[in-house]
């Protein structure tokens, strides 16, 4: 309760800051004031528990599932599925950051919806007014089959007005603070389906990893559509073995990770991969001590996966692909017309569209590019651009000291100087246990 109170005070002050700066002339002044709020309200909590956990880690096999839900109509069903299929639902705890439009002080809006095609065959799009978002926590907790889990305190929720939402990195930071001493930490998105006994099977799988307890399971789960039959799992887990430097101006040439070759499927234990997927990873909760989530990445959509991977590996954690998929994920192309946080950012600052969020991300993403070692994002280069603010408290959220940054780049065959990703033989050949 004390941690949630800290987060709520931060959000209350953020709400007022956004109102006061609706007409900010530059993204720089917004970033400066946001970082000041983090330093004032969140940094004391960070400092108090640096390099240690807020709660003792229980050795009871419990799982904490971190969910960042942005206006997600599937949150309630995701929770139902998670508990219904779990082998040990009494040991499952959820920390959900519910970022909804509540219709209190703003008119709720849809995402960009395709309404048809013009005479040239091009899509006709529209953003419309809509009612308040469905509350997935309320759906779950008022369901007679699942209400007992809420009554027992297994569902911890932080409610965030859509206007204060600024991307997945901040939501995942908030969600990580709802952890309450559980043995394992699972980070995922809020639109999932689960195979039977997924919880037991993932715990057994990570324990088979050679580096356990400092082992992370991660993959891009297979997709599903809402009309699909119940998910049974069992397909081979994807292996995150490739990367590419984005050529999109919006993404600022950030490293994006992707899948590589599959193993034969006869392995007796999981083998190592190069990268962590932000939408699904499973590890012991000590991960939160070694690799605390970074509160200084607002309005940043790209780069969290390479940052997670680099930080975890240099702190001594090895990354593994689960041999079998046990969850499925709803991938959401733009044609679904679901709301996006960058559309909200545009409305908050009176600049409809994604443009102002892109300007904000231009600054904050430099924190990740500095971490990875981009020549254009050295400390001197950032000072020359007057972006040195992005290095605030960087020493606490950057690479570890167990293994070096140079070793990570060699391990993953990344050439940052020339922006090239090479072939990772050990990962694609499944040869590193």
CA distance linking residue 172 with residue 95, whole number of Å: 10
User: What pLDDT sits at residue 177?
Assistant: 98
Phi, psi of 117 (to 5 degrees): -130, 150
Helices (H), 217-300: 287-290
Torsion of CA 143, 144, 149, 153, to 10 degrees: 80
Query: pTM of the prediction?
Result: 0.95
CA distance linking residue 321 with residue 292, whole number of Å: 22
CA distance linking residue 70 with residue 48, whole number of Å: 29
CA distance linking residue 151 with residue 141, whole number of Å: 8
Per-residue pLDDT of the chain (433 residues; tens, 9 = 90+): 699 999 999 999 999 999 999 999 999 999 999 999 999 999 999 999 999 999 999 999 999 999 999 999 999 999 999 999 999 999 999 999 999 999 988 999 998 888 888 888 888 888 889 999 999 999 999 999 999 999 999 999 999 999 999 999 999 999 999 999 999 999 999 999 999 999 999 999 999 999 999 999 999 999 988 888 889 999 999 999 999 999 988 888 999 999 999 998 889 999 999 999 999 999 999 999 999 999 999 999 899 999 999 999 999 999 999 999 999 999 875 667 789 999 999 999 999 888 999 999 999 999 999 999 999 999 999 999 999 999 999 999 999 999 999 999 999 999 999 999 999 999 999 999 9
List, for residues 96-133, the tens digit of each pLDDT value: 999 999 998 899 999 888 888 888 888 888 888 999 99
User: What pLDDT sits at residue 334?
Assistant: 62
How many helices (DSSP H) and strands (DSSP E) are in the chain? 15, 15
Q: How many CA atoms lie within 13 A of 93 on its CB side?
A: 24
Which residues lie across from 96 on neighbouring strands? 67, 157
CA distance linking residue 45 with residue 48, whole number of Å: 5
Residue 427 is encoded by which pair of tokens? 């990962």
List, for residues 217-248, the tens digit of each pLDDT value: 999 999 988 888 889 999 999 999 999 999 98
Quote the strand ranges of 271-427, DSSP E: 280-284, 318-320, 327-329, 414-415, 420-421
CA distance linking residue 57 with residue 44, whole number of Å: 22
Which residues does 118 contact at the CB level (< 8 Å), separation at least 6? 124
Q: Is the distance from CB of 275 to CB of 337 less than 8 angstroms?
A: no
User: What pLDDT sits at residue 333?
Assistant: 58
Give SS3 for 136.
helix
Neighbours of 139 (CB within 10 A): 16
The residue count of the chain comes to 433
Which residues lie across from 185 on neighbouring strands? 64, 283
User: What pLDDT sits at residue 264?
Assistant: 85
Q: Is the distance from CB of 166 to CB of 15 less than 8 angstroms?
A: no
Q: Is the distance from CB of 367 to CB of 310 less than 8 angstroms?
A: no
- In angstroms, how far is the first alpha carbon of the chain from the final one? 41
User: What pLDDT sits at residue 1?
Assistant: 66
Listed residue (294, 293, 277) closest to 285, CA to CA: 293
Q: Is the distance from CB of 402 to CB of 315 less than 8 angstroms?
A: yes
């Amino acid at each position: 309760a004390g941690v949630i109170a800290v987060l709520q005070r931060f959000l209350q002050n953020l709400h007022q800051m956004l109102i006061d700066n609706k007409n900010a002339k530059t993204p720089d002044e917004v970033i400066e004031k946001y970082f000041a709020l983090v330093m004032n309200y969140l940094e004391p909590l960070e400092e108090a528990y640096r390099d240690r956990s807020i709660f003792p880690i229980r050795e009871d096999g419990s799982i904490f599932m971190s969910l960042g839900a942005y206006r997600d109509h599937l949150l309630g069903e995701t929770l139902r599925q998670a508990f219904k299929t779990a082998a040990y639902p009494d040991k499952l705890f959820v920390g959900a950051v519910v970022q909804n439009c509540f219709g209190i002080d703003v008119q709720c809006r849809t995402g960009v919806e395709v309404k048809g095609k013009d005479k040239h065959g091009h899509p006709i799009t529209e953003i419309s007014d809509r009612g308040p978002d469905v509350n997935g926590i309320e759906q779950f907790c008022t369901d007679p089959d699942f209400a007992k889990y809420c009554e027992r305190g297994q569902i911890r929720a932080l409610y965030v007005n859509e206007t204060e939402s600024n991307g997945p990195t901040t939501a995942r930071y908030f969600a990580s603070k709802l952890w309450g001493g559980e043995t394992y930490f699972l980070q995922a998105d809020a639109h999932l389906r689960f195979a039977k006994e997924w919880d037991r099977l993932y715990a057994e799988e990570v324990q088979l990893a050679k580096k356990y307890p400092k082992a992370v399971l991660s993959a891009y789960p297979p997709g599903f559509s809402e009309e699909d039959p119940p998910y049974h799992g069992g397909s081979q887990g994807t292996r995150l073995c490739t990367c590419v430097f984005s050529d999109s101006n919006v993404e600022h040439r950030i490293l994006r990770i992707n899948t590589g070759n599959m193993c034969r499927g006869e392995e007796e234990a999981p083998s190592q991969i190069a990268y962590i997927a932000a939408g699904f990873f499973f590890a012991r909760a000590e991960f939160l001590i070694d690799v605390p989530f970074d509160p200084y990445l607002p309005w940043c959509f790209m780069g969290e996966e390479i940052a997670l991977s680099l930080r975890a590996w240099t702190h001594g954690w090895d990354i593994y692909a689960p041999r079998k998929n046990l969850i499925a994920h709803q991938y959401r192309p733009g044609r679904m017309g679901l709301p996006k946080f960058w559309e909200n950012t545009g409305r908050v600052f009176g600049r409809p569209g994604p443009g102002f969020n892109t300007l904000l991300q231009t600054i904050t993403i430099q924190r990740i590019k500095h971490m990875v070692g981009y020549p254009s994002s050295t400390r001197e280069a950032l000072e020359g651009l007057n972006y040195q603010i992005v290095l605030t408290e960087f020493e606490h959220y950057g690479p570890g000291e167990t293994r070096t940054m140079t070793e990570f780049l060699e391990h993953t065959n990344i050439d940052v100087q020339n922006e090239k990703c090479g072939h990772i033989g050990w990962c694609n050949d499944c040869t590193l246990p």
